């Protein structure tokens, strides 16, 4: 049975919070990993949206998409939610883009360390001025891609610096990342899975003749969670977890 005492972070996604027996501690840094098109960005947005409705400010940092395109996409996908513009207008949701490639080229072409440092500094400035309760970073895949093999340690260190920073501000944050494996059987454990407090895996497996979306909570530090592989659908109202069990 759920006994959330109000001091725990709630995702607000239909059917998801009951997969955690007592919510999640605030300040957790959570990875939303999955194959292309399985709904990572929309899920991260919905968490921010559900919390914003309750008055908790959310900051969304885009690395790969323009702000206008992002807003068009989420409004199109969640067409029953007609208060998205209002939440943005009222500054309960703030969406910014940080141009990674620009930072990369500005930092003299190859200086990965400076590139990542600039990005982390910019995020800290935004946090200080906007004071969000939750943050989404969509996605860290491009960072990893431009770091390439020879700079992978700089990438890992920078992600660690970033999650420590967010944790110290007691911000609950969600980072999306592409995972090349689309089904559970092919799941490859990434080093990122170890440094984050939580990992939610989204799968787009093939069921007979069509893809079916399922998700799994791999871990959430400080929370008992369901071990079920739960089906989900994305509707105009948001995500709906179709099958789950209480942790
Ligand atoms: N208007 C819509 N109505 C219903 N479902 C939608 C709509 N728009 C998107 N979707 C669903 O959401 C999925 C895309 O969601 P999203 O962009 O969050 O995925 P993603 O995992 O972030 O993808 P990417 O790897 O490209 O970043 C689509 O594959 C589709 O199934
Ligand atoms: Mg995405």
Q: Other C-beta atoms within 10 Å of 74: how many?
A: 22
pLDDT per position as a tens digit, 162-193 = 999 999 999 999 999 998 666 677 777 788 88
Is 10 inside any structural domain? no
Ligand nearest to the CA of 235: 1
Q: Output the CA 180–ligand 1 centroid distance in Å.
A: 16
**Residue 234 CA, closest ligand 1 atom number:** 5
What pTM does this model have?
0.93
Structure confidence at residue 192 (pLDDT):
86
> For the residues 8-31, what does the mean pLDDT come to?
95
Q: Could you tell me which residue, 68 or 106, shows the higher pLDDT?
A: 68
Q: Could you tell me which residue, 108 or 222, shows the higher pLDDT?
A: 222
> For the residues 16-27, what does the mean pLDDT come to?
93
- Per the structure, the count of domains in the chain is 1
- Expressed as residue numbers, the domain containing 223 is 17-241
Is 109 inside any structural domain? yes
Is 193 inside any structural domain? yes
Residues in contact with 143: Cβ distance below 8 Å, sequence separation at least 6, in sequence order: 63, 100, 116, 119, 155, 158, 159
> For the residues 113-140, what does the mean pLDDT come to?
94
pLDDT per position as a tens digit, 25-84 = 999 999 999 988 999 999 999 999 999 999 999 999 999 999 999 999 999 999 999 999
Is 180 inside any structural domain? yes
147: CATH: 3.40.50.300
Which tokens is 2 given?
């759920």
Using the predicted structure, report yes or no on whether residue 245 has a pLDDT greater than 60: no
Q: Could you tell me which residue, 149 or 81, shows the higher pLDDT?
A: 81
Calculate the CA 39 to chain-centre distance.
Answer: 10
Residue nearest ligand 1's atom 25 by CA: 36
**Residue 176 CA, closest ligand 1 atom number:** 22
Is 105 inside any structural domain? yes
> For the residues 6-33, what does the mean pLDDT come to?
93
Is 141 inside any structural domain? yes
Is 11 inside any structural domain? no
| Range with the poorest average pLDDT among 27-31, 101-105, 138-142 | 101-105
Containing 60, the helix (H) or strand (E) segment is: strand 58-62
Structure confidence at residue 1 (pLDDT):
42
**Residue 38 CA, closest ligand 1 atom number:** 21
Pocket test for ligand 1, best of 37, 74, 139, 231 (most atoms within 8 A of CB): 37
Residue nearest ligand 1's atom 3 by CA: 77
Is 6 inside any structural domain? no
User: Pocket around ligand 1: residues whose beta carbon is below 6 Å from it?
Assistant: 34, 36-42, 76-77, 178, 234
Q: How confident is the prediction for the chain on average, in pLDDT?
A: 90
Task: Match 């947005």 to its residue by tokens.
Answer: 45
């Amino acid at each position: 049975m759920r006994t959330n005492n109000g001091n725990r972070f709630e995702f607000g996604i239909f059917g998801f919070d009951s997969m955690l027996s007592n919510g999640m501690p605030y300040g957790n840094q959570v990875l939303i990993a999955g194959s292309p098109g399985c709904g990572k960005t929309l899920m991260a947005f919905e968490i921010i949206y559900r919390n914003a409705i309750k008055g908790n400010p959310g900051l969304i940092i885009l690395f790969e998409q323009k702000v206008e395109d992002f807003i068009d996409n989420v409004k199109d996908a969640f067409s029953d939610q007609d208060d998205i513009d209002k939440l943005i207008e009222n500054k309960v949701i703030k969406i910014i883009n940080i141009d990674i490639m620009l930072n990369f080229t500005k930092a003299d072409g190859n200086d990965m360390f400076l590139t990542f440092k600039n990005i982390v500094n910019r995020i800290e400035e935004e946090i200080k001025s906007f004071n969000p309760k939750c943050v989404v970073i969509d996605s860290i895949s491009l960072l990893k891609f431009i770091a390439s093999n020879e700079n992978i340690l700089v990438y890992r260190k920078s992600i660690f610096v970033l999650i420590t920073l967010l944790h110290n501000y007691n911000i609950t944050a969600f980072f999306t990342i592409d995972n090349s494996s689309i089904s559970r059987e092919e799941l490859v454990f990434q080093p990122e899975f170890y440094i984050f407090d939580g990992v939610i895996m989204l799968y787009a497996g093939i069921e007979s003749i069509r893809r079916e979306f399922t998700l799994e909570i791999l871990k959430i530090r400080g929370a008992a969670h369901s071990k079920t592989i739960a089906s989900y659908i994305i509707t105009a109202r948001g995500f709906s977890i179709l099958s789950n069990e209480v942790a």
